[in-house]
């Protein structure tokens, strides 16, 4: 049985509220054919890093709800696997990032929680590409 | 799709990740019996986090229609949580409760003495229920 979910609250460009973050700068959630994909731009020492686009799983706020309120997504970069778990709270996207290293660097797996606001473009002149500064 | 390239994301370069002490940061703050602050919850009533050496185990009691239901104990993965509010450095746990009719992916962390759980539940029983996310808050009940 397929459950149709309203994902409109998740779609858009999400910008990190913390300008000093060393994690994710912004994310673009796109909808196509009823499915969502996410493109992530992370912060590198010299420039933004495009993680590329991955499929997401959508979650509502209750079993009886049909409105999207959260998502999960997985990126596997070979040397590290990152799990993203996001939920919308009072209009903010609260994102948990779970990083698990698979290389021999002996770095500890780590957890980060960041907050993102939807770039509603009300005050912008043009459309910004995801990774352009 | 798996990509094998490497990149120097700033967060991955935190020197604290290379410190062995990071793997046990204030992990004692997680262990204990935690009770839901919301007495009217329809989700998790209480949970117990136990540490066995380097391993964490999570036991959950949820609210059922006919009374409390104990889920089988689940092994949890510890992750360093280096950027909590007010400069707290602690641990977070990631757990997956995988049962025949549902799968719940969760992360748990302590912030200023409050255990926060966020559970992403996926139904696998064709019941028509929507997959959902739920965040709850717990206080530690001191052991007697």
- Residue A63 sits in a domain of what CATH number? 2.40.128
Average pLDDT of the residues in A47-71: 96
Euclidean distance between CA atoms B40 and B25, whole angstroms: 33
Ordered structural domains, chain B, with CATH: 26-141 (2.40.128.30)
Domain assignment present for A127: no
Q: Do A63 and B2 touch (CB under 8 A)?
A: no
Q: Does residue A2 lie within any of the structural domains?
A: no
Q: How confident is the model at residue A1 (pLDDT cuts 50, 70, 90)?
A: low
Is A124 inside a domain boundary? Answer: no
Q: Is residue A27 part of a domain?
A: yes
Phi, psi of A26 (to 5 degrees): -160, 160
Is residue A53 a part of any domain in this protein? yes
The stretches in chain B having pLDDT less than 50 are: 1-5, 144
Q: B11 and A23 in contact by Cβ < 8 A?
A: yes
Q: Is the pLDDT of residue A124 over 60?
A: no
For residue B51, give every residue at least 6 positions away whose Cβ sits within 8 Å of its Cβ, in sequence order, or none: B27, B28, B30, B31, B57
**Interval B82-103: pLDDT, tens:** 876 666 678 899 999 998 899 9
Separate counts of helices (H) and strands (E) for chain B? 0, 9
Q: Do A107 and B23 touch (CB under 8 A)?
A: no
Judged by DSSP in three states, A58 sits in strand
pTM (2 d.p.): 0.89
User: Does residue A88 form part of some domain?
Assistant: yes
CB contact under 8 A, B17 and A110: yes
pLDDT in tens, A4-34: 899 999 999 999 999 889 999 999 999 998 8
Confidence of residue A102 (pLDDT cuts 50, 70, 90): very high
ipTM value of the model? 0.87
Task: Give the residue, B24 or A69, on which the prediction is more confident.
Answer: A69
Residues in A touching B123 (Cβ below 8 Å): 63
* pLDDT, position A89: 95
Total domains in the fold of chain A? 1
Q: How far apart are CA B47 and CA B62, in angstroms?
A: 9
Taking the Cβ of residue B40 and every Cβ of chain A, the question of whether any pair is shorter than 8 Å is answered with no
* CA B107 – CA B76 distance, rounded (Å): 9
pLDDT for B143: 53
d(CA B130, CA A61): 9
Whether the predicted pLDDT of A113 surpasses 70: yes
| B94: chain A residues, CB-CB within 8 Å | 83, 98, 111
- List A27's β-bridge partners, or say none: A14, A40
Pairwise pLDDT comparison (A130 vs B130), residue with the higher score: B130
Quick one: pLDDT at residue A61?
96
Confidence (pLDDT) at B68: 94
Give the separation between CA B137 and CA B48, rounded to whole angstroms: 14
- Residue A125 resides in a domain: no
Q: What is the mean pLDDT of residues A84-100?
A: 96
Would the pLDDT of A121 be above 70?
A: no
Task: State percent of chain A over pLDDT 90.
Answer: 74
Residues of B in contact with A85 (CB under 8 A): 105, 107, 118, 120
Best residue in A10, A45, A63, A65 to probe B by mutation, most B CBs within 10 Å?
A63
User: Is residue A21 included in any domain, yes or no?
Assistant: yes
**A88: domain range?**
12-118
């Amino acid at each position: 049985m397929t459950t149709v979910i309203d994902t409109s609250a998740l779609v858009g460009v999400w910008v990190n509220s913390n300008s000093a973050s060393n994690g994710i700068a912004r994310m673009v959630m796109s909808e196509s054919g009823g499915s969502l994909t996410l493109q992530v731009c992370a912060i590198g020492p010299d420039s933004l890093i495009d993680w590329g686009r991955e499929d997401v799983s959508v979650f509502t706020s209750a079993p009886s709800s049909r409105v999207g309120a959260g998502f999960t997504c997985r990126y596997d970069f070979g040397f590290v696997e990152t799990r993203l778990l996001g939920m919308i709270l009072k209009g903010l996207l609260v994102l948990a990032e779970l990083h698990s290293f698979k290389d021999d660097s002996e770095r500890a797996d780590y957890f980060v929680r960041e907050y993102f606001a939807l770039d509603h473009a009300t005050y912008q002149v043009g459309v910004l590409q995801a990774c352009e500064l | 799709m798996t990509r094998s390239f490497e990149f120097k994301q700033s967060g991955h370069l935190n020197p604290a990740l290379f410190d062995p002490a990071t793997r046990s940061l204030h992990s004692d703050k997680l262990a204990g019996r935690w009770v839901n602050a919301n007495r009217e919850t329809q989700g998790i009533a209480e949970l117990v986090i136990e540490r066995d050496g380097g391993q964490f185990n999570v036991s959950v009691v949820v609210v059922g229609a006919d009374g409390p239901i104990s889920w089988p104990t689940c092994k949890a993965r510890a992750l360093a949580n280096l950027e909590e509010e007010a400069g707290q450095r602690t641990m977070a746990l990631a757990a997956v409760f995988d049962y025949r009719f549902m799968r719940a992916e969760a992360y748990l962390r302590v912030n200023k003495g409050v255990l926060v759980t966020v559970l992403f539940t996926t139904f696998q029983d064709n019941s028509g229920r929507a997959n959902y996310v739920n965040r709850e808050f717990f206080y530690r009940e001191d052991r007697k």
